[in-house]
Amino acid sequence: MHTYMTWNLDTILARTGTEPDPETGALAPPIHTATTYVRNSDGQPGEFVYSRLGNPTRQRLEHALSESEAGTGAVAFSSGMTAAMTLCQSLRPGDHVLLPHDIYFGVRTLLMEHFTRWGLQVSDVDQRDLDAVARAMTPKTRLVWAETPSNPQLNVTDIRAIADLAHEAGAALVVDNTWATPLITRPIELGADIVLHSVTKYLGGHSDVLGGALIFARDDAWYQGAVRLASEGGAVLDPFGSWLVLRGMRSLAPRLRQQSATASELAHWLESHPGVESVNYPGLTSHSGHPIACKQMSMFGGMLSFCVRGGADQALRVVHRSQLFANATSLGGTESLMEHRVSIEGPNTPTPPNLLRVSVGLEHGNDLKSDLDQALGS
Ligand SMILES: Cc1ncc(COP(=O)(O)O)c(C=O)c1O
């Protein structure tokens, strides 16, 4: 495989997985569907044996993911949640995991409801308060989990500071980089040990593939453990899914630059809209995490959330009145989505009841503003 590490990330991404196929010279990656591979005449296996253990299309994706995040190795999973689950399975009963207070609710549920039954200790803390994070560490803390900007309140965590705190306590830091992507934030370069992705979102980019990834800073026990758990437990991404993510990654840079520019325009506009109580977007100077975002984000991303004046009922009305923002979950596709998060997170969530989460697509910013304006009822 060629390495493009000295080139700009835009260049690396534009050429994701396009090393010519050695057999045919094809520039688009082949999709290898074979589940099994023949041994040589001495009965010795070649590089590939069985697709769960290793697959050429998935391997291309894993190289691309590792390269884009400046890691030393990656594992591609069947979803973001199987990536999270595998990380939890690599811990031992009694180990403590420290979550952020605001985090994708699926990850919170997985850890707090399922893995506590398997003996993990799980607690959460507002990671914007570094003293509180230091106090929340225990002698058993093995993993600190960060998600920045967080889902759905867009809290910003200082990755470098939290990595130092984790390491001082003898723990590893995993950063869920799904929302920022490697184009915007570089967790491994800031001290993270592991990066997690739901590649379902921006890396896939077209709302048509479910997948996840773990990328590792070092070829260490965490990495080797994840490779074994994923391949022996079968949590791996299929060849077509791998191919779709490779395809999506090639256009990540222009998509996300456009989405980021439009999200920024919308956030500033919403901030002065009479129907809006507050806007969560790290690019706003009013956002508490703005100074840290300026340090660790090259743009402010395509996600935002806002609280509507008039409570949950009015928030739901806005969602139903909108014509351009699809009322659907997920994020990172070419189409804009808007969702009332409490409706799907349930009553025990820290999310405010009047909060709407927006994934900004590739539509024209003026059209999105007009639609939001009419939906807000002005
Ligand atoms: C930040 C974040 N992490 C992880 C996930 C889970 O990923 P998946 O839906 O691919 O399992 C999501 C899904 O929305 C997410 O937003």
| The pLDDT of residue 124 is above 90 | yes
CATH C-level class of 253-376: alpha beta
9-250 and 253-376 agree in CATH topology = no
Report the distance separating Cα 220 and Cα 151, nearest Å. Answer: 29
Report the distance separating Cα 158 and Cα 155, nearest Å. Answer: 10
Tens of pLDDT, residue by residue over 284-339, are: 999 999 999 999 999 999 999 999 999 999 999 999 999 999 999 999 999 999 99
Burial class (CB in 10 A: 0-12, 13-18, 19+), 334: middle
Cβ–Cβ < 8 Å for 99, 111: yes
User: What is the Å distance from ligand 1's center to 208 Cα?
Assistant: 14
Helix (H) or strand (E) holding 77: strand 73-77
Tens of pLDDT, residue by residue over 344-368, are: 998 889 899 999 999 999 999 999 9
Does domain 9-250 sit in CATH 3.40.1440.60? no
Tens of pLDDT, residue by residue over 245-269, are: 999 999 999 999 999 999 999 999 9
Ligand 1 pocket list (CB less than 6 A): 79-81, 104, 106-107, 147, 151, 176, 178-179, 198, 200, 210, 212, 330
Phi, psi of 142 (to 5 degrees): -110, -25
Confidence band, pLDDT 50/70/90 cuts, at residue 378: low
Greatest C-alpha distance within the chain: 76
Cβ–Cβ < 8 Å for 128, 153: no
Q: Which two tokens stand for residue 193?
A: 């040990």
340: β partners: 356
Measured by CA distance, the residue closest to atom 9 of ligand 1 is 80
Q: Which two tokens stand for residue 270?
A: 């919403």
| pTM as predicted | 0.97
Phi, psi of 184 (to 5 degrees): -105, -40
DSSP class of residue 130 equals H
Tens of pLDDT, residue by residue over 23-47, are: 999 999 999 999 999 999 999 999 9
Q: What is the residue extent of each domain of the chain? A: 9-250, 253-376
Report the distance separating Cα 6 and Cα 219, nearest Å. Answer: 21
User: What is the Å distance from ligand 1's center to 196 Cα?
Assistant: 9
